[in-house]
């Protein structure tokens, strides 16, 4: 239940007209595609704390300046660093053949020369957690849970448990390593990497995602009834902590510059693809949104702040440190939103605002509906990084993209520019300019929302 608040001040008709003009301009001439093209070609992989990350930070500042933002600056954050080495896996018995794998983020190495052990299959991480230690000790745990495809991406939550909690569970049972069926919806021979929960794991073991066809292979071998033995040879290394940056660009408000509409995306990516969908598209969408608004004859009433968060992929690190650093200014952020779900069309408009302000969302919907967008719920987190703000009472909005194919590419080498449809980005920017401009321009605000527990 959300707080009651003062009654909503309706959006001004003139502001709605300006938003409509912006929407049409976005559909006709917005060019977020060039931004994601530039980022993927000129920077490419940009995992937090790597050289690519540094280049991305430089790219973002340079680009924002060129686009005409009023202020461009960075805020340093501290990140845990890790070097990915090779990861080889092969079945050694009974049917020798190589497997396609990828180390999960911050995973351990094998001993030099590798390790060989029998695999033991588990339906999901719960089954592993509940298994007797003697079943798994010294062996390789194989979590074989499939992810369901959905426009909302709702299959991700259940499936990602194996990735976030599997290595810890395997290590605690004395397993030699973890093999995980990739958290993804494709059937291509790509492993999906991603973050694990590693804090406090005493003896981390190597943890590898298997591509779906490779998980199928192991499954089929196990069905034949003989023990299946796998050799792993993995070289990874934890490095000393280091700096990364949130990159911030502002279109400064003409009347209430201290009040902020914060729209974000994350600048970092995983290191095997070029991060076109995750989250190059989001970076491009919010940058292009601000550019279009900055080209109006006058600045909106409030400041529109674009934050390209660092180190989202390794635990919302940039967002958490941003919120910590700006604890005292959070009440100046009247709304937060993030684009981080690929490059599909926006199909739903969610909010997290007091019910008393629903009339404003309804007015926004008048301009969003022609884009094929329906009104969703009031439980939006605003996106992964935004959720940290929402947890601190900041109202949020969410322009939900069609994620049907998102997890075909997510965190794989196959997350590349060719998966981005320029027309879809235009529709995204059209929705974003409507929401962002109206929030920055409107008379009233959204108050606060109850912090999430």
190 binds a copy of itself (CB under 8 A): yes
Q: Which does 67 bind (CB under 5 to 8 A by kind): a copy of itself, Zn ion, none?
A: none
Least separation in angstroms between CB 293 and Zn ion? 24
What distance in Å separates the CA atoms of residue 132 and residue 182, rounded to the nearest whole number? 24
Residue from 53, 340, 350, 441 binding Zn ion (CB under 5 A) = 340
Binding residues among 405-424 for a copy of itself as defined by CB under 8 A: 412-414, 416-419
377 binds a copy of itself (CB under 8 A): no
Choosing from 288, 312, 313, 338, the catalytic residue is 312
Which is nearest to 26 in space by CA: 314, 380, 261, 367?
A: 367
Nearest-approach distance from CB 35 to a copy of itself, in angstroms: 14
Please report which residue ranges of 266-377 form alpha helices under DSSP H.
Answer: 281-294, 317-325, 358-368
Q: Is 253 in the site for a copy of itself (CB under 8 A)?
A: no
What is the C-alpha to C-alpha distance for residues 266 and 280, in angstroms, rounded to an integer? 8
Say if residue 237 is exposed, middle or buried (CB neighbours under 10 Å; 0-12, 13-18, 19+).
exposed
Would you count residue 385 as binding Zn ion (CB under 5 A)?
no
Determine the Cα–Cα distance for residues 412 and 270; give it in Å rounded to an integer.
Answer: 8
Answer yes or no: 312 catalytic: yes
Choice from 66, 76, 95, 331 touching a copy of itself (CB under 8 A): 95
Q: For Zn ion, which stretch binds (CB under 5 A), given 107-115, 154-162, 335-343, 359-367?
A: 335-343
Closest distance to Zn ion from the beta carbon of 104 (Å): 13
The pairing of strands 207-210 and 101-103 is antiparallel
**Total residues binding a copy of itself (CB under 8 A):** 35
Task: Say whether residue 278 binds Zn ion (CB under 5 A).
Answer: yes
Do the Cβ atoms of 192 and 412 come closer than 8 Å? Answer: yes
Contact 22, 293 (CB under 8 A): yes
Which of a copy of itself, Zn ion, none does residue 123 bind (CB under 5 to 8 Å by kind)? none
229 binds Zn ion (CB under 5 A): no
* Residue 329 contact, options a copy of itself, Zn ion, none, Cβ 5-8 Å cut-off depending on partner type: none
452 binds a copy of itself (CB under 8 A): no
Size of the site for Zn ion (CB under 5 A): 4
Phi/psi for 392 (5° steps) reads -110, 20
Contact call for residues 141 and 122 (beta carbons, < 8 A): yes
> Rounded to the nearest whole angstrom, what is the least distance from the CB of residue 186 to Zn ion in the complex?
15
Strand partners, 141: 120, 178
Q: Which of residues 263-282 bind a copy of itself (CB under 8 A)?
A: 273-274
Query: Under DSSP, is residue 118 helix (H, G, I), strand (E, B) or coil?
Result: strand
Nearest distance, CB of residue 385 and Zn ion, angstroms: 9
What are the φ and ψ backbone dihedral angles of 397, each rounded to 5 degrees? -130, 155
Among 186, 272, 279, 288, binds Zn ion (CB under 5 A): 279
Residue 96 within binding range of a copy of itself, rule CB under 8 A: yes
Enclosing H/E stretch for 134 = helix 133-136
What the block records as the tokens of 29 is 């001439």
C-beta closer to Zn ion: residue 275 or 354: 275
Separation between Cα atoms, residue 178 and residue 165, nearest integer Å: 11
Cα–Cα distance measured from residue 161 to residue 201, given in angstroms and rounded to the nearest whole number:
16
- Identify the H or E element spanning 56: helix 51-67
> Under rule CB under 5 A, which residues in 305-324 are in contact with Zn ion?
313
- Say which entry of Zn ion, a copy of itself, none residue 256 contacts (CB below 5 to 8 A, set by partner kind): none
Tally Cβ neighbours within 10 Å of residue 223. Answer: 8
Q: What is the CA radius of gyration of the chain?
A: 23
Q: Is 98 in the site for a copy of itself (CB under 8 A)?
A: yes
- Give the range of 143-151, 186-194, 248-256, 335-343 binding a copy of itself by CB under 8 A: 186-194
The residues assigned a catalytic role are 312
List of residues contacting a copy of itself (CB under 8 A): 37, 40-45, 51-52, 55, 95-98, 100, 187-190, 212-213, 216-217, 220-221, 224, 273-274, 412-414, 416-419
């Amino acid at each position: 239940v959300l707080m009651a608040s003062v009654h909503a001040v309706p959006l001004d008709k003139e502001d709605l007209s300006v938003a409509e003009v912006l929407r049409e301009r976005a559909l006709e001439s917005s060019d977020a595609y060039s931004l994601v093209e530039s980022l993927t070609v000129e920077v490419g992989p940009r995992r937090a704390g790597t050289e690519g990350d540094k280049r991305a930070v430089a790219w973002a500042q340079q680009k924002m300046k060129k686009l005409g933002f009023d202020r461009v600056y960075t805020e340093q954050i501290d990140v845990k660093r890790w070097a990915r080495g090779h990861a080889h896996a092969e079945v050694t018995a009974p049917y020798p053949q190589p497997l396609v794998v990828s180390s999960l983020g911050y995973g351990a190495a094998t001993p030099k020369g590798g390790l060989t052990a029998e695999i033991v299959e588990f339906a999901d991480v719960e089954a592993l957690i509940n298994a007797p230690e003697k079943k798994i000790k010294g062996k390789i745990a194989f979590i074989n849970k499939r992810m369901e495809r959905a426009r909302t991406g709702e299959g991700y939550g259940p499936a990602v448990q194996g990735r976030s909690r599997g290595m810890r569970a395997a290590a605690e049972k004395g397993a030699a390593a973890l093999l995980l069926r990739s958290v993804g919806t494709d059937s291509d021979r790509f492993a999906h990497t991603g973050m694990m929960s590693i804090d406090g794991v005493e003896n981390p073991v190597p943890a590898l995602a298997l591509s779906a066809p490779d998980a199928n292979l192991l499954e089929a071998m196990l069905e034949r009834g003989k023990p299946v033995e796998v050799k792993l040879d993995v070289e990874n290394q934890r490095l000393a902590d280091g700096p990364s940056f949130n990159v911030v660009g502002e279109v400064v408000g003409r009347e209430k510059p201290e009040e902020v509409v914060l729209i974000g995306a994350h600048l970092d990516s995983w290191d095997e693809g070029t991060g076109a969908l995750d989250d190059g598209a989001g970076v491009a969408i919010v940058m292009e949104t601000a550019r279009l608004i900055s080209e109006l004859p006058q600045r909106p009433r409030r400041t529109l702040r674009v934050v390209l968060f660092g180190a989202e992929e390794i635990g919302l690190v940039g967002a958490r440190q941003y919120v910590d650093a700006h604890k005292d200014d959070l009440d100046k952020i009247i709304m937060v939103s993030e684009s981080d779900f690929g490059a599909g069309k926006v199909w739903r408009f969610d909010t997290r605002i007091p019910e008393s302000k629903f009339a404003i969302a309804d007015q926004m919907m008048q301009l969003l509906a022609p884009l094929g967008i329906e009104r969703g719920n009031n439980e939006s987190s605003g996106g992964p990084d935004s959720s940290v703000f929402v947890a601190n009472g900041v109202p949020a909005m969410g322009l939900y993209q069609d994620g049907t194919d998102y997890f075909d590419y997510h965190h794989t080498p196959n997350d590349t520019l060719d998966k981005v449809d320029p027309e879809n980005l235009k529709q995204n920017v059209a929705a974003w300019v409507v929401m962002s401009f109206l929030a920055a321009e409107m008379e009233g605000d959204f108050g606060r929302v109850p912090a999430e527990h």
